[in-house]
Amino acid sequence: MSQVSTVETAIDPVESPLTPDSSGKLGMWIFLAGDAMSFGGLLAGYGALRAGSPDWPVPQEVLGISLTAFMTFLLIVSSLTMVKGLSAIQNGDIKGMIRFLSLTVLGGVIFLGLQAYEWTHLMHREILFTSNPFGDYLFGSTFYIITGFHGAHVTGGVIYLAVLAIRGLQGKLDANNSSIVEIAGLYWHFVDLVWILVFTFVYLI
């Protein structure tokens, strides 16, 4: 048993030349930089299609923004509970970490529920992937692709954080390997950051 814990300490965290913490954190940053390019490409494509369209609807009139403004607020709250969870485990408070991670997961699940409600509502109004009674059909295509891609990220984050909360319950996380929670937090805040941009470009402008 003591052998195992010695090996674990030796492996995690390993200093990387770029971050003072584990190389896992560096790996996450590189992944997020690539992922940001995916979203950047989608948003740039959205801009190009919208600029060339003669009958692009006014997004706020078709989509409504009160629900999505609340969804934005929800993700900001979940980012707050995420950093509180990290602070808790860094101070050795495992129960606090589990509580805050669970709240973050709850925030993500409510976000997904609201997105499902929004999609269903829009589909009832005949705004579909290939048709749109309010103007250019590409409005629907780009909307579902961008918000769907983001929703997939939220789903991934909810699973990721739920797994960490379970590992916390099993006693596998403590102050010594808190970088695992910090790396998950980077992913979750990135999902929040991307939504800030999606909310602005797809709903408000």
Partner 1 sequence: MSSAHQEPDYMKIFFALTVLTAVEVGIIYLPIGKLAIAIALILLALGKAALVALYFMHLRFEKVGVGIIALTPLFLCTLLIFSLLPDLLGMAHKKQHDQAEKPASSVEQGFNH
> Quick check: 141 binds partner 1 (CB under 8 A)?
no
Site for partner 1, residues 119 to 138, rule: CB under 8 A: none
- Using alpha carbons only, how large is the chain's radius of gyration in Å? 20
Distance between CA 89 and CA 65 in Å, rounded? Answer: 36
Shortest separation between residue 143's beta carbon and partner 1, angstroms: 17
> Quick check: 10 binds partner 1 (CB under 8 A)?
no
> Quick check: 14 binds partner 1 (CB under 8 A)?
no
> Quick check: 87 binds partner 1 (CB under 8 A)?
yes
Amino acid at 17: P
Distance between CA 82 and CA 76 in Å, rounded? Answer: 10
Q: Pick from 7, 14, 152, 204: which binds partner 1 (CB under 8 A)?
A: 204
Q: Pick from 7, 14, 44, 116: which binds partner 1 (CB under 8 A)?
A: 44
- Closest to 24 in 3D by CA, of 173, 166, 187: 187
Three-state SS string over 38-100 comes to HHHHHHHHHHHHHHCCCCCCCHHHHHCCHHHHHHHHHHHHHHHHHHHHHHHHHCCCHHHHHHH
Binding site for partner 1 (CB under 8 A): 13, 17-21, 26, 29-30, 32-34, 36-37, 40-41, 44, 47-48, 51-52, 54, 60, 65, 69, 72-73, 76-77, 79-80, 82-84, 87, 90, 178-179, 182, 185-186, 189-190, 192-193, 196-197, 199-201, 204-205
